[in-house]
A and B are shown apart, each in its own frame.
Chain A
Amino acid sequence: METAELTQEEQFQARIDADVRIEPKDWMPEAYRKTLIRQISQHAHSELVGMLPEGNWITRAPSLKRKSILLAKVQDEAGHGLYLYSAAETLGASRDQMLADLHSGKAKYSSIFNYPTLSWADMGTIGWLVDGAAILNQVPLCRTSYGPYARAMVRVCKEESFHQRQGFEIMQTLCEGAPAQKQMAQEALNRWWWPTLMMFGPKDADSPNTEQSMKWRIKRFTNDELRQKFVDMMVPQAEFLGLTVPDDKLKWNETKQGYDFGDVDWAEFWDVVKGNGPCSRERLQARVQAHEDGAWVREAALAHAEKRRQRAETVAA
């Protein structure tokens, strides 16, 4: 077929298939744009909301060194949020609108941040497991078809890997520490294990967007593939730490060279996605309140900038 006879959509798909990056000014199907805005903004919102469960422990971190690391990490997350909002803006979305969608509950964020952080060990578990899961999701996104998103992810992944190692190190310190510390680590793993497996999203059979996202190379692996990789990667690490994964169906499968594992509680998953997670209301409320309480500050900054602009014009004239 001659190139001239290809529709815009076919030309677009041909570029995707040839692994050519799509850039902001390129033509793209409206559904591709919308899917990406949804995914990138959700990703940005997750960074923003994700500051809360860890921020919860900054004032209580047990040593100055740990406190510094945690603070630096949460600062990185704010930075990731900024990269991602910028990437989404290249698709024509406005940050104000994206935030309005977050605050109204229309836009989602990662379900994991709707769980409470109840002990210091949760800081280790979040770094080790949650950031570990995020990395598995995000490393393939460094090769995603949309250029600005892929480039944002390269920067995000570098910092995430660092956070993940730090989280593991917290767990290791606890597991090599006093019995009370080891118990704290195990108890945290018990609470976070299943919610982390849920981070990969619904089963492939229940994930209607997957096929199209894979065809557009927004996604590179299916939810179940990534979940399997995660379990295969994390079980030996848990063993190394001397911790027990809270899954009595977990068993090495020689034939598939991977672990068989129990089924996620999908009823819980959908409850959390629908806004009924243990901290869903608190997280959203904290974000809405920060935004509302900060309105006068943003207005002041705008008013002052406008005054400056007018003064500069007066001087120029």
Chain B
Amino acid sequence: MQETHTIVVPDVSAEVRQQLLDYVLQLADTSLILAHRLSEWCGHGPILEQDLAMANISLDLLGEARSYYQYAAELEGRGRTEDDLAYLRSAVEYRNPLLVEQPNGDFAHTIVRQFLYDAFHYHLLLQLQAGPDQQLAAIAEKSVKEAAYHVKWSAEWIIRLGDGTNESRRRVEAAINALWRYSGELTTPSATEQALQQAGFVPDYAAIQGQIDEHVARVFAEATLPVPQGVFMQKGGKTGRHSEHLGYLLAELQYLQRTYPGLTW
């Protein structure tokens, strides 16, 4: 299912193009890794409807990842394919933030990870679709519809778990406690993102931070959950310094391509 429309590469300097490539790979890796995590739930969800919902979100993210990888391949201009980029890059070359590679844990961990990401993702895509890069804008325009659905789903579950039973509240609080420290990286620009922010290709995270905070605060309030304050934020994924989880994930994801390189499947 290759994109049928032609991919438009912006007319920019080689340096900016390299930065843009790095950023698009970051977007692609992020969607792919989170899609991978969600797909691990397949057949193991708490109820059939939620198995379906998680597979659905995973599929959306995978579709988005493919669009970004195809664009990245074009930006790179070395004839590599979406599969080369997904399957033949090592953990230190992956650019996803730490949050999305965190293990599924229990359903509460999965929901908290999803909601923290969705709240960011939705507001990011709203900006990207109005950005100067035609290709990113086109992908974002399609994806923001899906992200709106994702954030609705994960927010509703934050509320159900927070304002459900004592047990669900205990679990969702434990998950927030475990995962909150990875939320800051999403809107902390890497050097690449800083450079691209100046060129207008990456939205001003400081500006969307307020919208994200407001969104999270609103959902947490309805869930009767306190918003954590003053948590030390971990980072590194966006520059290839990951947690120990990613290596295992990629070993599983990439093994067939690594075992039988260069074949068509």
Contact = CB atoms under 8 A, between A and B. Distances in A.
A75 B164 contact: no
A166 to B, nearest CB: 12
Contacts, number: 138
Given A51-B42, A178-B260, A299 B168 contact: yes
A39 interface: no
Interface in A36-82: 48, 51-52, 55, 58-68, 71-72, 74-75, 78-79, 81-82
Contact of A51 (B36, B51, B65): B51
Given A51-B51, A78-B51, A68 B66 contact: yes
Contact of B47 (A52, A59, A64, A294): A294
Contacts of A100: none
A74 B43 contact: yes
Q: Which of B1, B51, B66, B253 has the most CB of A within 10 A?
A: B51
A304 B45 contact: no
Contacts of A173: 264-265
A300 interface: yes
A55 B43 contact: yes
A64 B168 contact: no
Contacts of A267: none
Contacts of A52: 43
A251 interface: no
Contacts of A65: 1, 66
Interface string A69-111: 0011011001101100100000000000000000000000000
Interface of A: 48, 51-52, 55, 58-68, 71-72, 74-75, 78-79, 81-82, 85, 120, 170, 173-174, 177-178, 180-181, 286, 289-291, 293-301, 303-304, 307
> Which 4 pairs between the two chains have the least Cβ-Cβ distance?
A294-B46, A300-B164, A300-B168, A55-B42
Given A68-B62, A301-B164, 15 more contacts: A48-B43, A58-B39, A59-B40, A59-B253, A62-B257, A64-B66, A64-B83, A71-B62, A75-B59, A120-B256, A177-B264, A177-B265, A297-B47, A303-B165, A304-B159
